[in-house]
Amino acid sequence: MEPVLRSAVESLIALRTGKHAAAEKAAEQAFFSSLLVLCIVATLVAAGPCDIYASGGTPCVAAHSTTRALFGAYSGSLYQIKRGSDGATTNIGPKSAGGVANAAAQDSFCVGTTCLITTIFDQSGHGNHLTQAPPGGAARGTDPNGFDNMAAADGAPVTLNGQKAYGVFISPGTGYRNDGTNGIAVGDAAEGLYAVVDGTHYNGGCCFDYGNAETSADDTGNGHMEAIYFGLGTGFGTGAGSGPWILADLENGLYTGPNTAVNPSNPTITSRFVTAVVKGEPGNQWAIRGGNAASGSLSTFYSGARPSPGYNPMHKEGAIILGIGGDNSNGAQGTFYEGAMTSGYPSDATENSIQANVVAAGYATTSLTSGPAISVGSSVSFRATTACCTTRFIAHTGATVNTQVVTSSDTSALRLSASWNVVTGLGNSGCVSFESRDTPGSFIRHSGFELFVNANDGSLLFSDDATWCPQAGLNGQGNSIRSWSFPAHYFRHFNAILYAASNGGADTFDATALFNNDTTWVVGPAFA
């Protein structure tokens, strides 16, 4: 918007000063054209996606976002977070009606501790809020009652037109659901869905979905789902290239067309922010569309008949899922920023206006790290800050990562085992990876939430699990080292062994006692 505004101002100055009189008419036209563009952009931002859907005759019956209001007049709560230090909760709303989420309120509430997202509120007025997903036919979570994990509240920072906000970072095992909804399409009724997601955060697991699913949390057959899927899911229909793709989870199949063939019109996604659209209506019609959520327009990847057999007519049940499959298949990863579900089949023109609104919202990346800088190219050591252990440093014995007492007078072998090269994050260039100084090509990674020094096998899983995002130390010193792939988990020493621990999680090493101290490290120069 800034270049447009600058052009308008320059044109106005030319008019008021009488300069370039011969071009006065052209300057006047340029000025009012620039103002028209500004008015259009301002209208798109003020009107919210769900206002646009309503104007097209397909109103939102569910609207979820942790980054902004999806109605121009919405000023209620966007999401709720729970604090790890005392279990207290608070609701986060937009800074103003129709605006961006109040990230500063979250940061203030969570300072010196961890926070989880407990609820993503429905802005549509239908009460279709999303909460921690219960166990289903495919999977149980680590909660004693089998519920899925909740997302770290600060795992996916972004900016919208320069204003900070947080998305929903879904790690495997994390998911949200509502099985008792109001107004969501059932049977073969028409509906539309859109979502804005991270185009660089995905895997091949089932299923990073947003949309309509079974109310029983079990697989009840073909056509009982209609949800957006993003990732590398194969074995059914796929798009062109190597992926990831925008697909539709229709239950017992991830589809991009009428069958399981490759659809060359559905491209591999390369943009950081992605707008994904799925819609269906009676008469054996559905479509899948997508585009770059930061620029440009939507493209139609498929529009036509449903797959067969069992998908016409549809048998939608009306539950809503986020980050999981209809039967709670919870092995996927991805990041969700905003999305909505409609009553009725939106026109392409309406969705094109939604895309223009999303682009005008100005999604952009921001830093994933905080606290004292840990610079790529440096070599470092990590000293514990818990009172018991301030002479102990992170080292390794074979593949096991542990803490050991290390001094400058110790053997070269011990000093090398406690020294680490800082390299660009293998799974995300905004974070870092730690290469062993005495075992080049091997990195600190988590597996089963224990830390190991393993050789890089080149896989997406290894890259993600060997990537760490340093944060300001939870106890006020140094740094806490957060996992990129599981951002609720941090380097923690527990009985001298290193884990990727969460605050109050299911494992013994997740104990809340001493959590802040055990996960805070003073980062210094390498020993060798």
Query: Which residues are tagged catalytic?
Result: 251, 327
Three-state DSSP at 299 gives strand
Identity of the residue numbered 201: H
* Residues in Cβ contact with 128 at an 8 Å cutoff, skipping those fewer than 6 apart: 61, 62, 122, 178, 181, 182, 183, 184, 320
Burial of 165 (0-12, 13-18, 19+ CB in 10 A): buried
* Residues in Cβ contact with 189 at an 8 Å cutoff, skipping those fewer than 6 apart: 282, 316, 343
Classify residue 356 by its DSSP letter.
H
The torsion angle over the Cα atoms of residues 62, 64, 69 and 72, rounded to 10 degrees, is -20
For tokens 């922010």, name the residue: 273
* Residues in Cβ contact with 339 at an 8 Å cutoff, skipping those fewer than 6 apart: 63, 64, 65, 193, 194, 195, 196, 210, 228
What whole-number distance in Å separates Cα of residue 159 and Cα of residue 163?
A: 5
Identity of the residue numbered 198: D
Identity of the residue numbered 457: D
* Residues in Cβ contact with 426 at an 8 Å cutoff, skipping those fewer than 6 apart: 433, 443, 456, 462, 463, 464, 466, 467
Of 47, 125, 50, 46, the C-alpha closest to 342 is 50
Give the count of beta carbons closer than 10 Å to the beta carbon of residue 451.
27
